[in-house]
Amino acid sequence: MKLTTAGESHGKTLVGIIEGLPSNLPIDFDLINSRLALRQSGYGRGGRQKIESDKIEILSGVRNRLTLGSPLAFQIVNRDYQNWQPYMDPEGADVSMRRLTRVRPGHADLTGLLKYDQTDARNILERASARETAVRVAAGSIAMCYLKELGVYVSGYVRCVCGIVDNNQYSFEGLAEAKNNPLFMLDSLLERQAMDLIDSLKASGDTAGGVVEIRVKGLKAGFGSCMQYSTKLDALLCGAVMSVQAIKGVEIGMGFEVSKLPGSRVHDEIFLENGKYVRGSNNAGGIEGGMSNGEEIVLRAAMKPIPTLMKGLKTVDYATGQPATAAGERSDVAAICACEIIVESVVAMTLAEVISSRLGGDNLKEVKERYSRLP
Protein backbone atom coordinates (compact mmCIF):
# COMPACT_ATOMS: atom_id res chain seq x y z
CA MET A 1 0.00 0.00 0.00
CA LYS A 2 1.33 3.46 -0.88
CA LEU A 3 0.12 7.06 -0.63
CA THR A 4 1.22 9.84 -2.98
CA THR A 5 0.13 13.46 -2.46
CA ALA A 6 0.17 16.57 -4.65
CA GLY A 7 -1.12 20.12 -4.57
CA GLU A 8 -0.29 23.60 -3.31
CA SER A 9 -1.75 25.49 -0.37
CA HIS A 10 -3.49 28.07 -2.58
CA GLY A 11 -3.61 25.96 -5.75
CA LYS A 12 -6.70 24.52 -7.40
CA THR A 13 -6.90 21.35 -5.37
CA LEU A 14 -5.10 18.84 -3.19
CA VAL A 15 -4.75 15.34 -4.61
CA GLY A 16 -4.02 11.92 -3.15
CA ILE A 17 -3.55 8.50 -4.71
CA ILE A 18 -3.58 5.31 -2.63
CA GLU A 19 -2.26 2.19 -4.31
CA GLY A 20 -2.69 -1.31 -2.89
CA LEU A 21 -6.08 -1.18 -1.22
CA PRO A 22 -7.92 -4.51 -1.48
CA SER A 23 -11.23 -4.67 -3.28
CA ASN A 24 -14.56 -4.63 -1.43
CA LEU A 25 -13.33 -2.38 1.38
CA PRO A 26 -16.27 -0.22 2.59
CA ILE A 27 -15.40 3.49 2.46
CA ASP A 28 -16.99 5.56 5.22
CA PHE A 29 -17.43 9.02 3.67
CA ASP A 30 -18.94 10.39 6.87
CA LEU A 31 -15.88 9.31 8.85
CA ILE A 32 -13.50 10.89 6.35
CA ASN A 33 -15.34 14.21 6.20
CA SER A 34 -15.84 14.37 9.96
CA ARG A 35 -12.10 13.91 10.48
CA LEU A 36 -11.34 16.57 7.87
CA ALA A 37 -13.61 18.88 9.87
CA LEU A 38 -11.80 17.96 13.10
CA ARG A 39 -8.50 18.85 11.44
CA GLN A 40 -9.85 22.36 10.89
CA SER A 41 -11.14 22.70 14.45
CA GLY A 42 -9.58 23.51 17.79
CA TYR A 43 -8.95 26.53 19.97
CA GLY A 44 -6.41 28.94 18.51
CA ARG A 45 -6.99 28.35 14.80
CA GLY A 46 -6.73 31.17 12.25
CA GLY A 47 -8.80 32.68 9.45
CA ARG A 48 -8.03 30.09 6.74
CA GLN A 49 -10.29 27.59 8.49
CA LYS A 50 -13.25 29.95 8.02
CA ILE A 51 -12.68 29.94 4.26
CA GLU A 52 -12.12 26.24 3.63
CA SER A 53 -14.65 23.53 4.44
CA ASP A 54 -12.84 20.39 3.42
CA LYS A 55 -14.70 17.52 1.78
CA ILE A 56 -13.28 14.49 0.03
CA GLU A 57 -14.19 13.83 -3.60
CA ILE A 58 -13.18 10.35 -4.74
CA LEU A 59 -12.24 10.35 -8.41
CA SER A 60 -11.49 6.68 -9.04
CA GLY A 61 -11.11 3.31 -7.38
CA VAL A 62 -14.48 3.22 -5.61
CA ARG A 63 -17.93 2.25 -6.81
CA ASN A 64 -21.02 2.30 -4.63
CA ARG A 65 -18.82 2.96 -1.55
CA LEU A 66 -16.68 -0.17 -2.10
CA THR A 67 -13.10 -0.17 -3.35
CA LEU A 68 -12.39 -1.86 -6.67
CA GLY A 69 -8.79 -2.91 -6.02
CA SER A 70 -7.50 -0.26 -8.41
CA PRO A 71 -5.67 2.93 -7.32
CA LEU A 72 -7.97 5.15 -5.29
CA ALA A 73 -7.62 8.77 -6.39
CA PHE A 74 -9.25 11.64 -4.53
CA GLN A 75 -9.15 15.39 -4.25
CA ILE A 76 -9.92 18.10 -1.71
CA VAL A 77 -10.74 21.33 -3.51
CA ASN A 78 -9.20 24.56 -2.22
CA ARG A 79 -12.07 27.03 -2.04
CA ASP A 80 -9.61 29.85 -1.46
CA TYR A 81 -8.21 29.29 -4.97
CA GLN A 82 -10.84 31.63 -6.38
CA ASN A 83 -9.10 34.44 -4.50
CA TRP A 84 -5.63 33.29 -5.54
CA GLN A 85 -6.17 32.28 -9.17
CA PRO A 86 -4.59 35.47 -10.58
CA TYR A 87 -1.38 34.64 -8.69
CA MET A 88 -1.39 30.81 -8.85
CA ASP A 89 -2.91 29.89 -12.22
CA PRO A 90 -0.73 27.18 -13.84
CA GLU A 91 -1.46 28.57 -17.32
CA GLY A 92 -0.56 32.15 -16.56
CA ALA A 93 -0.17 33.97 -13.25
CA ASP A 94 0.99 37.42 -12.19
CA VAL A 95 4.10 36.26 -10.32
CA SER A 96 5.01 39.85 -9.45
CA MET A 97 2.18 39.86 -6.93
CA ARG A 98 2.08 38.01 -3.62
CA ARG A 99 5.85 37.56 -3.74
CA LEU A 100 7.53 36.55 -0.53
CA THR A 101 11.20 37.41 -0.06
CA ARG A 102 11.29 38.26 3.67
CA VAL A 103 11.97 34.64 4.50
CA ARG A 104 10.42 33.34 7.71
CA PRO A 105 12.50 31.66 10.43
CA GLY A 106 11.33 28.13 11.15
CA HIS A 107 9.88 27.67 7.65
CA ALA A 108 11.24 26.04 4.49
CA ASP A 109 11.47 29.46 2.78
CA LEU A 110 15.21 30.19 2.73
CA THR A 111 16.57 26.68 2.33
CA GLY A 112 13.97 25.95 -0.35
CA LEU A 113 14.93 29.07 -2.31
CA LEU A 114 18.55 27.95 -2.35
CA LYS A 115 17.82 24.30 -3.12
CA TYR A 116 15.33 24.87 -5.94
CA ASP A 117 17.01 27.96 -7.47
CA GLN A 118 14.05 30.27 -6.89
CA THR A 119 13.72 33.98 -6.12
CA ASP A 120 10.18 33.91 -4.69
CA ALA A 121 9.53 31.86 -1.55
CA ARG A 122 5.91 31.53 -2.71
CA ASN A 123 7.20 28.69 -4.93
CA ILE A 124 8.42 26.90 -1.80
CA LEU A 125 5.87 27.66 0.90
CA GLU A 126 2.87 26.66 -1.21
CA ARG A 127 3.97 23.02 -1.11
CA ALA A 128 5.74 23.09 2.26
CA SER A 129 2.56 24.39 3.91
CA ALA A 130 0.71 22.22 6.42
CA ARG A 131 -2.30 22.56 4.13
CA GLU A 132 -0.92 19.38 2.52
CA THR A 133 -1.91 17.46 5.63
CA ALA A 134 -5.57 17.59 4.61
CA VAL A 135 -4.69 14.88 2.08
CA ARG A 136 -2.98 12.80 4.73
CA VAL A 137 -5.99 13.05 7.03
CA ALA A 138 -8.27 11.87 4.23
CA ALA A 139 -5.92 9.02 3.36
CA GLY A 140 -5.45 8.10 7.01
CA SER A 141 -9.21 8.00 7.45
CA ILE A 142 -9.45 5.56 4.55
CA ALA A 143 -6.70 3.55 6.25
CA MET A 144 -8.85 3.54 9.39
CA CYS A 145 -11.62 1.89 7.36
CA TYR A 146 -9.11 -0.84 6.48
CA LEU A 147 -7.85 -1.21 10.06
CA LYS A 148 -11.39 -1.35 11.47
CA GLU A 149 -12.10 -4.45 9.40
CA LEU A 150 -9.26 -6.15 11.32
CA GLY A 151 -10.30 -4.88 14.74
CA VAL A 152 -7.48 -2.31 14.93
CA TYR A 153 -8.28 1.19 16.17
CA VAL A 154 -6.32 4.45 16.48
CA SER A 155 -7.14 7.28 18.88
CA GLY A 156 -5.42 10.05 20.82
CA TYR A 157 -5.58 13.32 22.69
CA VAL A 158 -3.59 16.47 23.40
CA ARG A 159 -1.23 15.86 26.30
CA CYS A 160 0.54 19.22 26.49
CA VAL A 161 0.09 22.80 25.26
CA CYS A 162 3.10 25.11 25.55
CA GLY A 163 4.31 23.61 28.84
CA ILE A 164 0.91 22.88 30.40
CA VAL A 165 1.16 19.10 30.72
CA ASP A 166 -1.45 16.45 31.48
CA ASN A 167 0.34 13.54 33.18
CA ASN A 168 -2.85 11.61 33.93
CA GLN A 169 -3.34 8.10 32.58
CA TYR A 170 -6.41 7.35 30.47
CA SER A 171 -7.96 4.18 29.09
CA PHE A 172 -8.10 3.77 25.32
CA GLU A 173 -11.90 3.93 25.46
CA GLY A 174 -11.74 7.25 27.33
CA LEU A 175 -9.72 9.00 24.63
CA ALA A 176 -12.71 9.56 22.34
CA GLU A 177 -14.08 12.20 24.71
CA ALA A 178 -11.15 14.48 23.87
CA LYS A 179 -12.62 15.29 20.44
CA ASN A 180 -15.59 16.95 22.17
CA ASN A 181 -13.35 19.46 23.96
CA PRO A 182 -11.96 22.77 22.62
CA LEU A 183 -8.31 21.72 22.83
CA PHE A 184 -8.72 17.92 22.70
CA MET A 185 -7.48 17.75 26.30
CA LEU A 186 -9.08 15.42 28.83
CA ASP A 187 -8.41 17.38 32.03
CA SER A 188 -10.84 20.33 32.00
CA LEU A 189 -8.81 22.41 34.46
CA LEU A 190 -5.59 22.05 32.48
CA GLU A 191 -7.48 22.74 29.26
CA ARG A 192 -8.84 26.02 30.66
CA GLN A 193 -5.31 27.04 31.67
CA ALA A 194 -4.05 26.20 28.18
CA MET A 195 -6.83 28.22 26.55
CA ASP A 196 -5.99 31.23 28.74
CA LEU A 197 -2.35 30.89 27.72
CA ILE A 198 -3.30 30.80 24.03
CA ASP A 199 -5.33 33.99 24.49
CA SER A 200 -2.32 35.65 26.09
CA LEU A 201 0.00 34.54 23.30
CA LYS A 202 -2.44 35.78 20.66
CA ALA A 203 -2.54 39.20 22.30
CA SER A 204 1.25 39.41 22.17
CA GLY A 205 1.54 38.10 18.60
CA ASP A 206 3.10 34.81 19.67
CA THR A 207 2.33 31.12 19.06
CA ALA A 208 2.20 27.78 20.89
CA GLY A 209 3.13 24.17 20.27
CA GLY A 210 2.49 21.05 22.31
CA VAL A 211 2.52 17.27 22.56
CA VAL A 212 -0.05 14.76 21.30
CA GLU A 213 -0.36 11.14 22.41
CA ILE A 214 -1.57 8.53 19.94
CA ARG A 215 -2.60 5.02 20.92
CA VAL A 216 -3.33 1.92 18.84
CA LYS A 217 -5.46 -0.95 20.14
CA GLY A 218 -6.05 -4.37 18.63
CA LEU A 219 -2.92 -4.84 16.52
CA LYS A 220 -1.60 -8.39 16.80
CA ALA A 221 2.03 -9.20 17.51
CA GLY A 222 4.60 -9.54 14.76
CA PHE A 223 4.09 -6.51 12.52
CA GLY A 224 7.37 -4.90 11.60
CA SER A 225 10.62 -6.85 11.72
CA CYS A 226 13.84 -7.27 13.66
CA MET A 227 15.65 -8.52 10.54
CA GLN A 228 16.22 -5.24 8.70
CA TYR A 229 16.55 -1.73 10.12
CA SER A 230 14.31 -0.40 7.36
CA THR A 231 11.40 -2.62 8.36
CA LYS A 232 11.31 -1.93 12.12
CA LEU A 233 7.81 -0.81 13.08
CA ASP A 234 8.98 1.88 15.50
CA ALA A 235 11.32 3.30 12.86
CA LEU A 236 8.53 3.36 10.28
CA LEU A 237 6.07 5.04 12.65
CA CYS A 238 8.57 7.60 13.92
CA GLY A 239 9.71 8.41 10.39
CA ALA A 240 6.14 8.88 9.21
CA VAL A 241 5.23 11.11 12.15
CA MET A 242 8.41 13.17 11.74
CA SER A 243 7.34 13.83 8.15
CA VAL A 244 4.41 15.89 9.46
CA GLN A 245 5.05 19.63 9.30
CA ALA A 246 6.13 21.15 12.65
CA ILE A 247 6.89 17.82 14.38
CA LYS A 248 10.31 17.99 16.05
CA GLY A 249 10.31 14.94 18.30
CA VAL A 250 8.71 11.49 18.57
CA GLU A 251 8.87 8.92 21.35
CA ILE A 252 7.36 5.49 21.88
CA GLY A 253 6.32 4.11 25.24
CA MET A 254 8.40 5.64 28.01
CA GLY A 255 10.53 7.35 25.38
CA PHE A 256 13.32 9.49 26.82
CA GLU A 257 12.30 8.53 30.35
CA VAL A 258 14.02 5.15 29.86
CA SER A 259 17.38 6.93 30.10
CA LYS A 260 16.64 7.99 33.69
CA LEU A 261 15.69 4.62 35.20
CA PRO A 262 17.36 1.25 35.88
CA GLY A 263 16.40 -1.68 33.69
CA SER A 264 14.29 -3.28 36.40
CA ARG A 265 11.90 -0.34 36.17
CA VAL A 266 11.87 -0.14 32.37
CA HIS A 267 11.50 -3.57 30.80
CA ASP A 268 8.06 -5.18 30.71
CA GLU A 269 7.97 -8.58 32.43
CA ILE A 270 6.27 -11.40 30.51
CA PHE A 271 3.63 -13.80 31.80
CA LEU A 272 1.60 -16.64 30.32
CA GLU A 273 -2.10 -16.36 31.13
CA ASN A 274 -4.70 -18.75 29.70
CA GLY A 275 -2.30 -19.75 26.96
CA LYS A 276 -1.58 -16.15 25.96
CA TYR A 277 1.59 -14.14 26.52
CA VAL A 278 1.01 -10.82 28.28
CA ARG A 279 3.19 -8.09 29.74
CA GLY A 280 2.91 -6.82 33.27
CA SER A 281 3.38 -3.25 32.04
CA ASN A 282 3.67 -1.44 28.73
CA ASN A 283 6.73 0.75 29.07
CA ALA A 284 7.86 -0.40 25.62
CA GLY A 285 4.76 1.18 24.11
CA GLY A 286 3.67 -1.99 22.33
CA ILE A 287 6.83 -2.40 20.25
CA GLU A 288 9.84 -4.61 21.04
CA GLY A 289 12.69 -5.39 18.67
CA GLY A 290 11.03 -3.36 15.95
CA MET A 291 7.86 -5.47 16.06
CA SER A 292 4.40 -5.04 17.56
CA ASN A 293 4.07 -7.22 20.66
CA GLY A 294 0.28 -7.26 20.95
CA GLU A 295 0.05 -4.56 23.62
CA GLU A 296 -1.30 -1.06 22.93
CA ILE A 297 1.04 1.04 20.84
CA VAL A 298 1.75 4.33 22.62
CA LEU A 299 3.36 7.16 20.68
CA ARG A 300 3.88 10.84 21.47
CA ALA A 301 4.82 13.63 19.08
CA ALA A 302 6.12 17.12 19.91
CA MET A 303 4.88 19.98 17.74
CA LYS A 304 6.95 23.17 17.65
CA PRO A 305 5.22 26.55 17.99
CA ILE A 306 3.86 27.78 14.67
CA PRO A 307 6.74 29.71 13.07
CA THR A 308 4.61 32.44 11.44
CA LEU A 309 4.33 35.00 14.24
CA MET A 310 2.04 37.98 13.85
CA LYS A 311 4.66 40.21 15.47
CA GLY A 312 7.29 38.92 13.07
CA LEU A 313 10.85 37.71 13.71
CA LYS A 314 14.14 39.15 12.53
CA THR A 315 15.25 37.91 9.15
CA VAL A 316 16.80 39.00 5.84
CA ASP A 317 15.04 40.07 2.65
CA TYR A 318 16.24 37.54 0.08
CA ALA A 319 15.78 40.03 -2.76
CA THR A 320 17.85 42.86 -1.24
CA GLY A 321 20.05 41.18 1.36
CA GLN A 322 18.90 43.75 3.90
CA PRO A 323 17.69 43.08 7.46
CA ALA A 324 13.91 42.77 7.65
CA THR A 325 10.98 41.57 9.70
CA ALA A 326 9.66 38.19 8.58
CA ALA A 327 6.64 38.23 6.30
CA GLY A 328 3.29 37.27 7.78
CA GLU A 329 1.00 34.77 6.11
CA ARG A 330 -2.44 34.06 7.56
CA SER A 331 -1.68 31.82 10.51
CA ASP A 332 -2.86 30.16 13.70
CA VAL A 333 -1.83 30.81 17.27
CA ALA A 334 -2.11 27.11 18.07
CA ALA A 335 -2.90 24.15 15.81
CA ILE A 336 -2.35 21.36 18.29
CA CYS A 337 -5.82 19.86 17.70
CA ALA A 338 -5.12 19.66 13.98
CA CYS A 339 -1.78 18.10 14.81
CA GLU A 340 -3.47 15.39 16.87
CA ILE A 341 -5.82 14.45 14.00
CA ILE A 342 -2.97 14.51 11.48
CA VAL A 343 -0.68 12.32 13.57
CA GLU A 344 -3.52 9.85 14.19
CA SER A 345 -4.02 9.69 10.43
CA VAL A 346 -0.35 9.25 9.63
CA VAL A 347 -0.08 6.44 12.18
CA ALA A 348 -3.16 4.75 10.69
CA MET A 349 -1.77 5.00 7.14
CA THR A 350 1.60 3.62 8.22
CA LEU A 351 0.00 0.68 10.02
CA ALA A 352 -2.16 -0.06 6.98
CA GLU A 353 0.98 -0.10 4.82
CA VAL A 354 2.79 -2.43 7.22
CA ILE A 355 -0.16 -4.79 7.57
CA SER A 356 -0.72 -4.86 3.81
CA SER A 357 2.97 -5.60 3.24
CA ARG A 358 2.77 -8.67 5.47
CA LEU A 359 -0.67 -9.98 4.57
CA GLY A 360 -1.07 -9.00 0.92
CA GLY A 361 -4.51 -9.90 -0.37
CA ASP A 362 -6.32 -8.66 -3.47
CA ASN A 363 -9.71 -8.53 -1.76
CA LEU A 364 -10.89 -7.77 1.76
CA LYS A 365 -11.99 -11.35 2.41
CA GLU A 366 -8.46 -12.62 1.80
CA VAL A 367 -6.96 -9.96 4.07
CA LYS A 368 -9.33 -10.73 6.94
CA GLU A 369 -8.82 -14.49 6.63
CA ARG A 370 -5.03 -14.09 6.72
CA TYR A 371 -5.17 -11.77 9.71
CA SER A 372 -7.49 -14.11 11.59
CA ARG A 373 -4.96 -16.94 11.26
CA LEU A 374 -2.23 -14.98 13.03
CA PRO A 375 -1.63 -15.93 16.67
**pLDDT tens for each residue of 304-340:** 999 888 888 999 999 999 999 997 766 789 999 999 9
- 232 with 225: CB under 8 angstroms? yes
Asked if residue 48 has pLDDT above 70, the reply is no
Sorted by sequence, the CB contacts under 8 Å of residue 132 that are 6+ apart come out as: 5, 7, 9, 14, 245
Amino acid 79: pLDDT: 94
Find the mean pLDDT for residues 338-366.
Answer: 98
Asked if residue 35 has pLDDT above 90, the reply is yes
Amino acid 154: pLDDT: 98
- Per-residue b or e along 105-138, where b marks 16 or more CB atoms closer than 10 Å to that residue's CB: eebbbbebbeeeeeebbbbbbbbbbbbbbbbbbb
| Domains observed in the chain | 2-372 (3.60.150.10)
pTM confidence score: 0.95
- 334 with 202: CB under 8 angstroms? no
- pLDDT, mean over the chain: 95
Higher model confidence: residue 77 or residue 308? 77
Q: What percent of the chain has pLDDT above 90?
A: 93
Find the mean pLDDT for residues 283-289.
Answer: 98
Asked if residue 141 has pLDDT above 80, the reply is yes
- For the stretch 55-67, pLDDT in tens is 999 999 999 999 9
Question: How many other β-carbons are positioned within 10 Å of the β-carbon of residue 142?
Answer: 30
Q: What are phi and psi of 336, to 5 degrees?
A: -70, -30
- For the stretch 199-231, pLDDT in tens is 999 999 999 999 999 999 999 999 999 999 999
Find the mean pLDDT for residues 237-260.
Answer: 97
Asked if residue 47 has pLDDT above 70, the reply is no
